[in-house]
Amino acid sequence: ADYSYHAIPKLDKDAFLIAHVTGWEQFNLLSGNANIYFENSFIGSSYLQLQNANDTLDISLGRDKKISINREKLKDFSKNQIISGNMVKTMAYETTIRNSKTVPINIEIDDQLPISDNNQIVVKMLENSNAEFNEKTGAVVWKMNIAPSATEKRKFSFTVKYPKDQNIPNL
């Protein structure tokens, strides 16, 4: 198997280890409950659903506490302004990823920009630390390799411009 980590720090501060198994068809596996062992330790149970698998079978191996992730709002770079009858909110976030393992890791960090289908509300990316950015969905994705005992930081910021008489919740 090839291993990678996946995290969505906006929702959960833990990284999840995923095993990507190729050539799994040769093992005559059946869909059903499976006990998962990693590094000679039982880590839990899962359900293998093989009818949805392609040439690669992805198996979640759960949380890895040796990968720490922290996402915080950067207050010094976040502000509210009124410009020409519009409210302009600038938001900035920094995500810090620490690999406490003795081996390098591949990790994908997902975040998201707000999206709007209202032409009076305009969202604009300011900075994304070289992330892959999908304007249609607002997805911000960093794919990186982190050395053992290393820390990486990624920052992104954006503005939301809307009429000052409107209230936008959860922003």
Instruction: Write the pLDDT tens digit of every residue in 72-86.
Output: 999 888 888 888 889
Mean pLDDT of the chain: 90
Q: 15-29, 89-103, 134-148, 152-166: which range is least confident on average?
A: 15-29
Question: pLDDT-derived band of residue 134, with 50, 70 and 90 as boundaries?
Answer: very high
Would the pLDDT of 165 be above 90?
A: no
Distance of alpha carbon 170 from the chain centroid: 19
pLDDT band of residue 157 (cuts 50, 70, 90) is very high
pLDDT tens-digit map of 29-67: 888 898 888 778 888 888 888 877 788 888 888 888 899
Q: What is the DSSP letter of 119?
A: T
Backbone angles phi, psi at 50, to 5 degrees: -75, -20
Query: How big is the CA angle at 85 (ends 84 and 87), to the nearest 5 degrees?
Result: 100
Supply the pTM of this predicted model: 0.82
pLDDT in the model for residue 39 = 75
Q: What angle is formed at CA 39 by the lines to CA 23 and CA 104, rounded to 5 degrees?
A: 80
Query: Is residue 134 classed as helix, strand or coil in its secondary structure?
Result: coil
Q: What's the count of helices (H) and strands (E) in the chain, helices before strands?
A: 0, 12
pLDDT of 85 reads 86
Would you state the structure tokens that stand for residue 170, as one six-digit string? 């959860």
Contact predicate 69/154, CB 8 Å? no
